[in-house]
């Protein structure tokens, strides 16, 4: 890791999630695009929650009045300026965006963590992948998660990341031997990841109905 590359604890949750959700070698996500977009939206809410910028009051997400500096000021402004409040699930649906996935990836590319690799198809279309360039941040994240799953005291950022990976169906892939009772204990009260699971469930139901 060079001097400019952030340490694991300095990555925000959307960055940490995308880093772990992407194949190191070919730069392709492990999950379908809709899962990536939806979980990233939940990670943004989780980041704002950790910063104290939003909180769930009753059934709705509300801005707290605090305005800490973050990469997600746009999303915070949307939550603050909405004339009527929305549930966590509704905000996940509203915040999911292909452009936001790309923005977070490009931010990590600018930090030297992943590499922007473009491919042309038929000379016209272009797809982008983000293979890993510096493994140290991901290795540090995996070490922190492994320690938390093994029973060590988990900080709130690591707990949130575990909950998001679980919601996306990635935790079993990354940690197949994880104690499921420990996982449930860690993630049970994490409202952004519950909102992600609820939204993914609705998307899959809609797809199943459309296929019949």
**Going by C-beta distance under 8 Å and a sequence separation of 6 or more, which residues neighbour residue 59?**
87
Kindly tell me if the per-residue pLDDT of 65 is higher than 90. no
Contact (Cβ atoms closer than 8 angstroms) between residue 195 and residue 89: yes
Please check whether residue 138 lies inside any domain of the structure.
Answer: yes
Quote the percentage of the chain above a pLDDT of 70. 92
CB 79 within 8 A of CB 63: yes
CA-based nearest residue to 92, from 149, 52, 54: 54
- The reply to whether 1 falls in a domain is no
Please report, for the domain that includes residue 64, its CATH number.
Answer: 1.10.3630.10
Whether 2 maps to a domain, the answer reads: no
Domain contains 47? yes
Compute the mean pLDDT over every residue in the chain, rounded to the nearest whole number. Answer: 92
Please indicate, yes or no, if residue 116 is contained in any of the structural domains.
yes
User: How many domains are contained in the chain?
Assistant: 1
pTM: 0.92
Q: What is the DSSP string of 129-171?
A: E--BS--HHHHHHHHHHHHHHTTSPPPHHHHHHHHHHHHTT-H
H/E stretch holding 117 reads strand 117-121
| Per-residue pLDDT at 212 | 75
Whether residue 9 has pLDDT greater than 60? no
For every residue of 9-42, DSSP letters joined together read: GGS-HHHHHHHHTB-TTT--BSS-HHHHHHHHHH
Q: What are 76-125's pLDDT values in tens digits?
A: 999 999 888 999 999 999 999 999 999 999 999 999 999 999 876 666 65
Is residue 3 assigned to a domain?
no
What is the rounded CA–CA span in Å between residue 51 and residue 62? 13
Query: Is 156 a domain residue?
Result: yes
Query: 3-class SS at 210?
Result: helix
Only one residue has tokens 């300026």, namely 81
Say if 212 falls within a structural domain.
no
Question: Strand, coil or helix: what is 128?
Answer: strand
Which range marks the domain in which residue 48 is found?
A: 8-207
User: What is the reported pLDDT for 3?
Assistant: 46
Residue 133 has a pLDDT of 96
Look at residue 13 and tell me whether its pLDDT is greater than 80.
Answer: yes
């Amino acid at each position: 890791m060079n001097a400019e590359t952030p340490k694991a604890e300095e990555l925000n949750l959307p960055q940490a999630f995308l880093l772990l959700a992407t194949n190191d070698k070919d730069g392709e996500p492990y999950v379908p695009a809709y899962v990536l977009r939806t979980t990233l939206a939940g990670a943004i809410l989780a980041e704002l929650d950790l910063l104290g910028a939003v909180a769930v009051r009753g059934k709705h997400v509300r801005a707290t009045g605090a305005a800490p500096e973050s990469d997600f000021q746009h999303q915070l402004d949307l939550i603050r300026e909405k004339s009527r409040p929305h549930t966590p699930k509704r905000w996940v649906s509203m915040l999911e965006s292909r452009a936001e996935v790309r923005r977070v990836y490009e931010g990590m590319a600018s930090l030297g963590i992943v590499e922007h690799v473009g491919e042309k198809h038929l000379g016209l279309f272009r797809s982008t992948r983000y293979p890993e360039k510096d493994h140290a941040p991901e290795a540090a994240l995996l070490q922190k998660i492994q320690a938390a799953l093994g029973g060590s005291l988990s900080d709130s950022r690591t707990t949130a990341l575990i909950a998001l990976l679980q919601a996306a169906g990635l935790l079993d892939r990354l940690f197949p031997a994880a104690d499921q009772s420990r996982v449930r204990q860690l993630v049970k009260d994490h409202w952004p990841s519950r909102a992600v699971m609820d939204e993914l469930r609705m998307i899959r139901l809609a797809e199943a109905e459309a296929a019949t």
